[in-house]
Amino acid sequence: MPSAPHDFRDEELLADVIARLIGDVRHVAVGNASPIPATAALLARERGHGRPYVSLLQSRKHNFFTDGARELFDCAGQGRIDVFFLSGGQLDGQGNVNLVSTGDYEHPKVRFPGSFGSAYLYYVVPKVILFRTEHSRRTLVPKVDFISAPGVSAGNVYRPGGPIALITNRCLFSFTQGRFRLASVHPGHTVAEVIEHTGFDFDRPETVPQTPPPTPETLKLIREVVAPQLAEVYPQFAAQVFGVALPLSAGTASG
């Protein structure tokens, strides 16, 4: 993401927003390849002095699961995970997520990594936060080409979980009654820009507030406490964004 003309990084702003969305819960789980949600989860834990419990799937230090994703799914099905995060190659205005492909299914234009357990977790985790750092009409579309995980369900379907918000590099959307609503626009961006780069329709208030920037206290916490913890799972991200020294093994592997 391009650097913002402020004394904070875009990643720090997004982590701060997501941490506030997490709220006062018991347990937050973060899947693979999710450094910004992982930063947010660790930030929420530091603010809560050890609460919520944070499970980072790729971590040895911040993960009590011993059987990987299977244990994650079992734990979620028992109602023991309160917050999870989903992203996708495409997201649409009903909160549908596409993690499979674009274009014709038999002859796709682009193939994504796959759905894995996204549909299941979308149903059973009470608060699912959607995130996409590329806010464009390519990623935020009128209708996804393939539904990996549906944002809404029929009224006769029991579903304790679902999307509560979508955060991007430009703004924050809330999600209620099957639609997105523009909640705030990040510093350095505008409502007109959000409209221009969003492929689906959304609601918005007459006056859209600006996303509050992270406070000096939050930035200090992220940079001095959270970033070193994050380096265990995301050494390259921690080094590039926060200047955390790469472990010798990571530096050798990347060189």
pTM of the model: 0.91
Cβ-based neighbour number of residue 103 at 10 Å: 12
Q: Work out the widest C-alpha separation in the chain, in whole angstroms.
A: 54
What digits encode the pLDDT tens for the residues 96-133?
Answer: 999 999 999 999 999 998 898 999 999 999 999 999 99
Strand residue runs (E) in the chain: 27-30, 53-56, 83-86, 90-92, 97-98, 101-103, 108-111, 127-132, 140-141, 163-168, 171-176, 179-185
40 close to 13: Cβ distance less than 8 angstroms: no
More confident residue, 91 or 72: 91
What digits encode the pLDDT tens for the residues 32-41?
Answer: 889 999 999 9
At 70, the pLDDT band (50, 70, 90 cuts) reads confident
Across 12-16, 94-98, 146-150, 154-158, least confident range: 154-158
Across 66-70, 79-83, 138-142, 146-150, least confident range: 66-70
Nearest in space to 173 (alpha carbons), one of 8, 19, 18: 18
Domains of the chain: which residue ranges?
10-229
| Residue-level pLDDT at 1 | 44
| Residue-level pLDDT at 252 | 42
Task: Give the CA dihedral 249, 234, 52, 183, nearest 10 degrees.
Answer: 170
User: Who's near 248: CB < 8 A, 6+ residues apart?
Assistant: none
10-229: what CATH class? Answer: alpha beta
C-alpha distances (whole Å) from 76 to each of 22, 158, 164, 181 are 16, 15, 17, 27
Mark residue 24 as left, alpha or beta (left: phi above 0; alpha: psi -120 to 50; beta: remaining): beta
The span from the CA of 120 to the CA of 118, in Å, is 6
Average pLDDT over the chain reads 92
87 close to 131: Cβ distance less than 8 angstroms: yes
